Each structure stands twice: as structure tokens, then as C-alpha cells.
Chains A and B, each alone.
Chain A
């Protein structure tokens, strides 16, 4: 049983865009008590079908919780296209990156499956509106 209960109120969309910022919001409380745990992270695992789990890329994004009520927010900006599994985890101590081994986890949220896609930027109505010769100097 988790010591910390983590409820996601604003999950990630199923499909997100590389280079754009997203927020995971929720509430984290100690079981039966008021107040959040001090250390919350979004554990982001890149799922590549050809890689065994032990070789998967895993990154951690730090979240911050409000002392009263336990509401938290974690910002994530995907850098690569692909499939990801994102879980918010609570730990009793800060994770030092890179994480080696399995960090102690005292609570975790439901897992969110996310696909990140590259979106091409659009530049519309590009024009040179004015020009001049500079005199003087």
C-alpha cells in the first residue's frame, strides 16, 4: 500500500507536441493525513519496442506541492517524438540525477500513456515590409 496517495486532476493529453510545455496537476497527501510529501517527480519512460525495460530512457521532472492541501504541478516539455509512460511518484528524499538503480518510491499515480509527435512550424505571410538606405555614420 502506498504511504502517499497521488491523484491526478489534470492528466497529460494522449497526444502532445515535441517542444511544447505541458502541466501535470494533481493532489498528493499522506494516507489519512493532510499535507503533501516533500518530493514529487514525474517519471517519464520512453517506450521503444526494441529496447528491454532496463535500457529504456527514464527521466525525472521535479514537481512542487502546496504545503496545505497538497496540490502539485509538474511541467514537462517532451524533446523527442515517441511513446512514453508517465507516472507521478513520491520519494522520501530528493533524487539526484542521473538516477542509478531503483529509487525508493512511497507513492505513485496511475500511469499515463502519451504519444509525442513532431509538428512542423508554419510561417505565414513572411514579408519585408520596409527598407531604406542608412546615411550618416
Chain B
């Protein structure tokens, strides 16, 4: 069984351990011709000198958008779930989320929530250290000393 904790809204910070899943809801207004192959991408990213939006994990969904003349339609996606890698996410670092719409006529559209990105200018995901796990703990034998 999978259960979700309370949904946070920007710019709330959530804490997650490597290997866990996060989920996000993407919304937008669309004006334009039908886009049967529209792709919605949700990704968790970090900042590096080489890449300001270095994706660490992502999920893409194909979402056919109907013909939408002006004033367009409002689209609210079902929650998109991202599986985080078990390694390569150092504890104590913070991350942002990005949403991207592509596969439509014209350019791609992107929005970010992160330290250098409006409108929140704040990291929203904090990666926790992986806690050591002890399993099969038992007293296997004992004797009088």
C-alpha cells in the first residue's frame, strides 16, 4: 500500500531520503491547436556551476491536449510521481522542482521552484541522510558466566 503525506505548497520545504518517492501537481493554462503528443515533465534538480538546473530524477507523462482556441483551457495534471535514486544524492543538500511542457507547437515552456528562480527563490526539497538500518536483531545464545 502506498500513502501520501500531507501535500505541501510552495515555498514549503519537504524532507526526503534517497530512494524514496516524491510527487507533484502541475497546472497550466493552454491556448493553441491540439497537441496529441504533449509531454509534461516533472523533475527534481540541483544547482551546479555547469548546469543551473541539473536534473537528478524525473518523470515524463504524455498528455494529449485538445484543440483550445483563445481563451484556452485550464489543465490540472494528476499527481506525477518521481522515484529518487538511492545513491548520488548527498545528505544535507537542497533541491528544487521543475515542470516542463513540450511536444506542442512552438517552444517548450518551463517553470522552476529553486534558489535562483522566481517567484519563490528558495529550495524546497531537503535530502536527509540515510539512516543506518538494523534488522534481524536478536539474542541468539546466552550462557551463565
**Residues of A that sit less than 8 Å from B by CB:** 17-21, 118-137
Given the complex, which residues of B lie within 8 Å of A137, measured CB to CB? Answer: 1-2, 21
Q: Count contacts between A and B, CB distance < 8 Å.
A: 133
Most buried by A among B20, B81, B104, B105: B105
Apart from A120-B105, A131-B125, what 17 extra A-B contacts exist at CB < 8 Å? A17-B33, A19-B35, A21-B67, A121-B30, A121-B33, A121-B104, A122-B72, A125-B28, A126-B28, A128-B97, A131-B97, A132-B14, A134-B3, A134-B5, A134-B23, A135-B20, A136-B3
- Can you list 9 A-B contacts (CB < 8 A)? A18-B33, A122-B31, A124-B28, A129-B9, A129-B27, A130-B8, A132-B5, A132-B7, A134-B4
Q: How far is the CA of A21 from the CA of B4 in the complex (A)?
A: 41
Interface of B is mostly: strand
Q: Is B25's CB under 8 angstroms from A129's CB?
A: yes
If A20-B33, A123-B28, A128-B26 touch, does A133 touch B72 (CB 8 Å cutoff)?
Answer: no
**Chain A proximity of B27: nearest CB distance (Å):** 5
B83-130 interface (Cβ within 8 A of A): 97-99, 101, 104-107, 109-111, 113, 124-125
Q: How far is the CA of A118 from the CA of B105 in the complex (A)?
A: 8
Q: Is B67's CB under 8 angstroms from A130's CB?
A: no
Q: Is A131's CB under 8 angstroms from B14's CB?
A: yes
In the complex, the chain B residue whose C-beta lies closest to that of A124 is: B29
**Chain B proximity of A105: nearest CB distance (Å):** 31
Q: Is B28's CB under 8 angstroms from A127's CB?
A: yes
**Chain A proximity of B5: nearest CB distance (Å):** 5
Q: Is A132's CB under 8 angstroms from B23's CB?
A: yes
B15, CB-defined interface residue at 8 Å: yes
